[in-house]
Structure 1
Amino acid sequence: MRILLVNVPHPAIGSRIPDDHLPPLGLLSIGGPLIDDGHVVRLLDAEFGPMPIRDLVAAVVAWEPDAVLFGHSGSTSGHPVIRDVARRVSLALPGVAIVYGGVFPTYHWREILADEPWVTAIVRGEGEETARRLMAALSVDAPLGSIPGIAYRGEAGPCATRPAPVIADLDAYRVGWELIDHAHYSYWGRLRAVVVQFSRGCPHLCSYCGQRGFWTRWRHRDPVRFAREIARLHREHGVKVFNFADENPTVSKKAWRLFLETLIAEEVDVILVGSTRADDIVRDADILPLYKRAGWQRFLLGLENTDEKTLEMVRKGGATASDREAIRLLRENGILSMATWVVGFEEETDRDLWRGLRQLLSYDPDQVQLLYVTPHRWTPFFRQAAERRVIQTDRRRWDYKHQVLATRHMPPWRTLLWVKLIEAILQGRPKALRRTFLHPDPGLRHAMRWYAQMGRRVWPYEIVNFVLRRRIAGGPTVSSFWGLPQDAEEESMVPARHATSPARRDVVPGLPVDL
């Protein structure tokens, strides 16, 4: 089959503001196995430009694919764009198979199949093996009901097959790096870059996380093979920066240490950036020098909040003491810390945000990123937010960088002022400016300046967009806007030992959307 992987232009601030663009790892991960199965596969990345929708559709039609596969890491806010492009493609190519994968369609398959007749099938959960089986079936027009991990339109309407088993061996499927020209992708200030993934999932139970249940359980790649792949990409393609897509790559200290030691032995000059938990940094205090020698320049630490009651409510499982200690340890070992902090919890007051600012100052992170609380229907946190009022009904804005929920004690404009004030103080205080422009490590100085430069563009952009974008006072509740809670379906796949349970039915008829 001729299979076209399409990465649509995403409306999120993180996609539109930076000059750098990273390759779509999810689509490349699907592409590798499909190429190995003998399909003719091409990637069309419309993020560059970004490509106008009309031109994107024309490019799809010109290639004359048998199947078009859509997916996006920014799943919820990217869906309206994917919907528009897929509709136009179906009108221009009536016989083409349109397949949609990612976090959002995994859980919203009922609505998508009911409202979007052009969608042939949805891949639910991890896609490498499921996409292979689905393309094999579509190539011979075989029935889809026996393929685990998909949703499609059956005789009685939308239905889903049994969940696919999690992929136990992540090294069994290769990334299709040949689908991209590495010279086109950069990060960290025009340095050649890719996105990689050492592990999938997270063992922690944070109630707001939209990714944990998607991956079902934590697994990691072979540490030695993974380190050698990074070294090969650097030597053969000149890749300098490796941005880890993992939610929590450092869960296993043993596996993580082996990866670091293998990469150090490869003697490649690379930059590694990613996210992890503050607890793991504190746990790894004795091997943080290995982090630095391997190439780590920055860790994003999901602090989420500085209020212990709020952290307990969202089941963060960490402590403010470990947050502060992790930042100190990273600085001691020459690694930058970026603290993410979430605002918009319903009971927040001016006093809470003032106290949070003071605590963030005491943490003294190198960089800070403020986000707005954004509930997803398949997470436990959705139940806590179900009766809150939605103030932003444009789903393209549900990207964590726009206020979407009303708070009880503050109007949206004051929440925005607090966010901008906290960012300005944290990034503009003399200590932060000194690190940004006078840091003794030239690599870290470059990183700090790059982030500051991007921040100077994002900061006014968010203010202008707040003024221009329409918000609704007294809007619908979260549950009436999205549907009732879906946390019973949070785990999108099943462990392999349960995959062939005789009690599990092959096809699950589509339930009403509000169940």
Structure 2
Amino acid sequence: MKIILLNPPHTAIGSRIPGEHLPPLGLLSVGGPLIDDGHTVCLVDADRELLTIEEMVSTILTNAPDVLMLGHSGSGSVHSTVLKICQKIKEYQPQLIIIYGGVHPTYHWDEIMLEAPAIDIIVRGEGEKTTRELVRALEVGQTLSEVAGIVFRENGRTQATPPAKVIDQLDQFRVGWELIDHKDYSYWGGKRAVVVQFSRGCPYLCSYCGQRGFWSKWRHRDPQKFAQELGRLYREEGVELINFADELPTGSRKAWKTFLEALIAEDVPLLLVGSTRAGDIVRDKDILHLYKQAGVVRFLLGIETYNETTLAHIRKGASMSEDREAIQLLRKHGIISMATYVLGFHEERDIDYWHSYRHLLSYDPDQVQLLYATPHRWTPFYESVEHRRVVQKDTTKWDYKHQVLEAENVPVWRVFMWFKTIEVLMQARPRVLYRMLFHPEARYRHAMRWYTQIGRKVWFHELFEFLFKTRIEKNGPALSALMGTAFTKREYSMASKGQRTAGTIPIMNASDH
């Protein structure tokens, strides 16, 4: 069959300002197994090419596919765009089979099937195995009820099949790197870059996370095979930077250490960036030299809040002393620390924003990223804030960079000013400027300068947008009235019995992949 994978355009600021783009890993991961099955597959990256809906429709119709698959890593905020694209395509090609996948449709499948007749099938959960079986069924005319992990219509009624089994052996499916031209994708100031996953899932219970239930449980790839793949990408494709999409790549110390050693043996000058937990950095204090030698240049750490009560409420499972020690350890080894901090977990007062600034100052991270609490309907956090008013009804702006929930004691404009002021004060600290200009390592200085340049552009863009484009709801509806009541019970709905492992990290044997 002829299949087009469409990466729809995203409205998020981060997708536009830097002028650089990373490959859509989810679609490439689905594409690899389909190519191996003999299908003709191509990627249309409308996000990178800044295609209008009309241009997307024209491109798709020109290629005349049998199947169109859509998905996006930011599937909640891009969902309304997906609906417009599908509707327009079906106006011109009603027989085209449209398949939609990602985190948002995994949980909102019943609503989507009611509101979007242009979407024929939804893939819920991980896509590699399910899309492979789905396309095989479409090709031979097999009944779709035999394909696990999908939603479809039959005789005008929505049918949902049982969840597909979680993919335990991640190496059994390959990423379809041949679907992209690597020179089209860059990050970190023009460095050829890719997004990868060493692991999937997270065992921790952060109440606001929209990812953990989607992956059901934590597992990882074969460390040595993964290192070999990264080495090949450098040698054959000129890839310079690896951006980890994992929630917790360091989850297993043994597996992560094996990967670092294998990548060091590959002897390739890659730069590695990603996110992890401060606790894992503290745990690995004796092997952080391996992080450095393998090419780790920055790790993002979720600090989230200064308030211990709030940390307990959102079930972060971290301590402030651990956060502070992790930042110090990374600095000792010449690795950049980026601290993310979230405003809006509780209804703050002005003094809370001041405490937040002082708290971040005491941590002394190299970089900071401020975010707004953004509720996902399938998470416990959503359930805890259903009563709060919404100040931004446009869901395309529910991207963590726009305030969504009202702070009862502080008007929106003042929350915004605190947000932007804290960013400036943190990034303009003399010690940060000193590191950016005089740090002994060139790659450290480059990373600091690049982030500062991007941050300056984003800062002014956000200020202009807020002043002249953003529409704030002065007496907005309660969250539950706008979006509906929580369906927290769906969070792990894709996990078969016995597959959920939240709260623990399994001990990995040498043969475990």
Smaller-chain TM-score bracket: over 0.9
Residues 67 and 96, structure 2, Cα contact 8 Å, conserved in 1: yes
Summarize the alignment of residues 200-349 of structure 1 with structure 2, pairs less than 5 Å apart.
Answer: 200-349=200-349
Note if 1:89 corresponds to 2:89: yes
Deviates more, 1:283-292 or 1:341-350: 341-350
* 1:430 matched residue in structure 2: 430
1:469 partner letter: T
Superposed CA deviations along residues 421-468 of structure 1, whole A, max 9, x for unmatched, are: 110110011111111222221001001110000001100111111122
Match in the other structure for 2:488:
487
- Sequence identity percentage: 56
Show the counterpart of 2:104. 104
- The answer to whether 1:470 aligns with 2:474 is no
Residue 471 of structure 1 aligns with an amino acid whose one-letter code is: I
Partner SS for 1:202? coil
For 2:483 and 2:130, locate their aligned partners in 1 and report how far apart those are by CA, in whole Å. 27
Classify the secondary structure of the residue corresponding to 1:3: strand
CA RMSD of aligned residues (A): 1.2
8 Å contact from structure 1 (residues 374, 398) kept in 2: yes
1:166 aligns with 2:170: no
Q: CA deviation at 1:495?
A: 4.4
Alignment pair present for 1:26 and 2:6: no
Indicate if the aligned counterparts of 2:298 and 2:336 stay in contact, CA closer than 8 A.
Answer: yes
1:492 deviates by: 4.0
Alignment check: 8 A CA contact 2:196 2:242 kept? yes
Q: Return 134-143 or 367-376, whichever deviates more.
A: 134-143
Question: 1:408 Cα deviation (Å)?
Answer: 1.2
The answer as to whether partners of 2:327 and 2:337 remain within 8 angstroms in 1 is: yes
Work out whether residues 76 and 398 of structure 1, in 8 Å CA contact, stay in contact via their aligned partners in 2. yes
What is the TM-score of this pair, normalised by structure 2? 0.96
Superposed CA offset, 1:388-416 (max 9, x none): 11111111000000011101110111111
**Any conservation in 1 of the 2:311–2:317 contact (CA below 8 Å)?**
yes
User: How is 1:188-207 mapped onto 2 (pairs within 5 angstroms)?
Assistant: 188-207=188-207
Alpha-carbon distance in structure 2 between the residues aligned to 1:226 and 1:79: 32
427-436 or 283-292: bigger deviation: 427-436
Deviations 1:474-509 (A, max 9, x none): 21111121111111010142248679xxxxxxxxxx
Shift of 1:364: 0.2
Contact 1:198 1:221 in 2 (8 A): yes
Q: Judging changes above 3 Å, is the alpha-carbon distance between structure 1 residues 492 and 224 closer, same or farther for their aligned structure 2 residues?
A: farther
Aligned to 1:507: none
Counterparts of residues 351-500 of structure 1 (less than 5 Å): 351-467=351-467, 468-495=469-496
The answer for the alignment partner of 2:132 in structure 1 is: 132
User: What secondary structure, in the 3-state scheme, does the structure 2 residue paired with 1:76 have?
Assistant: coil
CA distance in structure 2 between the partners assigned to 1:346 and 1:259 by the alignment: 39
TM-score by structure 1 length?
0.95
Rounded Cα–Cα distance in structure 2 between residues aligned with 1:171 and 1:254: 18
Preserved CA contact (<8 Å) 2:166 2:499 = no
Instruction: List runs of 5+ in structure 1 lacking aligned partners.
Output: 500-515
Distance in structure 1 (CA, Å) of the matches to 2:437 and 2:415: 30
In 1, the alpha carbon distance for the partners of 2:138 and 2:243 equals: 34
1-structure distance, mates of 2:156, 2:491: 24
Return the offset for 1:53.
1.8
Partners of 1:7 and 1:71 within 8 A in 2: yes
- Note if contact 2:310-2:346 (Cα within 8 Å) is conserved in structure 1: no
Report the Cα distance in structure 1 between the residues aligned to 2:356 and 2:148, rounded to whole angstroms.
46
How many pairs does the alignment contain? 499
Supply the distance in 2 between the matched residues of 1:139 and 1:392 (Cα, whole angstroms): 43
SS of match in other structure, 1:396: helix
C-alpha distance in 1, partners of 2:417/2:239?
39
